[in-house]
Structure 1
Amino acid sequence: MNAITTVAPILVRREGPVLVLAIHTPGKRNALSPGLFDALTEALASAANDATVGAVVLTGADGYFCSGGDLNQLATRRLLTLEQRRENLEILHGLLRLLSKFPKPIIASVEGGAAGAGLSMALGCDLLVAARNASFSVAYVKVGLTPDGGATAFLAQALPRQLLTEMCLTGDLVGAERLHALGVVNRLTEPGDADAEAIALATRLAGGPEQAMTRIKTLCRAAVSNTLGAQLDLEAGFMVEAQGSAESAIGIDAFLAKRKPDFVSLRSKR
């Protein structure tokens, strides 16, 4: 493990080809804080352009992923105009858009729990690893607010409407084991092991064909809303591009020769 760098309010470290970004707001269960979105945006932009980074793990420091918005800060929003509130909210939504378009695999690792915008950030990643005792909550209703950050969109892709509505209307905690059974959580671990599992999964993905995985991520996200015809067109466009790529040449040659393909060597040439 390489040294941890503090870029308040996140902790940054490398685990081989994996960049680990840990939300770090001590004493507040890693609630959203000033500078968080800028720090994450800068770190992700740098990782996207770094050939030595093959995948990213987004986690939380001190055994908790993120408790969402800081209510002390949210309480002051009523003093702003409607336009100013929207401008502030778009900072969060800008990060969620960045996560959805990030070209490399990004995995959320959840210990303790994820609530509100923290839940949105976890669901906005490509894959989700969680400790079996972790909990998730769309907590907005408890303080008279409504969901943001794409929480309803992400959950609606995997949950029946009745459960989505229950989570949003009650704000009750839903355990990682239940969400794993419903397909929202990819991997369950024992408490304290989520980061290690997420890093292992990210390391595996980091050795894959970068351009192909970027296209696959786009296909998987588009499939939810595309018509069959639109998805077939998108698949066709990507497939004919991939067939002429250096990645497919390496992959097919390695398969026929019964050896492991070396996709990583291509990255340093770009």
Structure 2
Amino acid sequence: MKFLRYGPIGGEKPGCLDQEGNIRDLGALIADFTPETVTCEQLAALADHDLSDLPIVDPGTRIGPCVGAARNFYAVGLNYARHARETNNPEPREPVLFSKSTSCICGPNDPIILPRGSVKTDWEVELGIIIGRPCSYVSKDEALDYVAGFCTINDVSERAYQIERGGQWIKGKSAPNFGPIGPWLVTTDEAGDPQNLTLKLSVNGETVQNSSTADMIFPVAEIISYMSGFMRLMPGDIIATGTPEGVGMGLTPQRFLRAGDVVELSVEGLGSQRQTVIS
């Protein structure tokens, strides 16, 4: 199924997409999609309900991030072979892990806000994982059993803050609205093979990223297994799994976002995002 959250910022409500593409209000069945409720068991129970009698939501309603009140927002760097090459980095021998502040999370169509002093704000279309069970020391073979679903993520990044200011990457990854998530949380049974999904991103109508999760250096199951050896992953935790080639930093000449630019991106089967860049 495709689950989502809709409504004004801070007042989002739970919903789902029916087979006709209508948004159905799930408020009678669940309070919200948060770390307390985004579990494999809870989502499976919702999928068993007849949705035909649930209220239809106005299709023009704002879509919020597909998980609310997330406790952790993790990310994997340099996880696509061609992206590593375009940034003149060797392929890592282990996953490169970092965090984004959860305060950067926003809806899939909310604006990208350029931070004060930004000169190198960049785009990154990514496959996102939403964890659905407490997860510690799991094997690669069992790792996907701990996934509630997948989503589309734009890992917006200020490269000067990330790379040129020293220290860790988080400060270039965490400005307000640097984490558009959604529109949907797509359950694993509907998402299909996470290692065979097309990712695309365009800026002002020009396609700059067009690749596949097949180019991942570390696949989804390996990422979850690896991370679970260092930390306990919990329901509602979000993991961005890396971006393919075609980021602004890797273009010749380099290209970065400016106010007025329009960014559109999608991951196959997981929905599209559209963001306007503002100062």
Which of the pair is proportionally richer in strand?
2
TM-score scaled by length of structure 1: 0.26
Greater helix proportion: 1
Whose relative contact order is higher, 1 or 2, with alpha carbons under 8 Å and at least 6 apart? 2
Bigger Cα Rg = 1
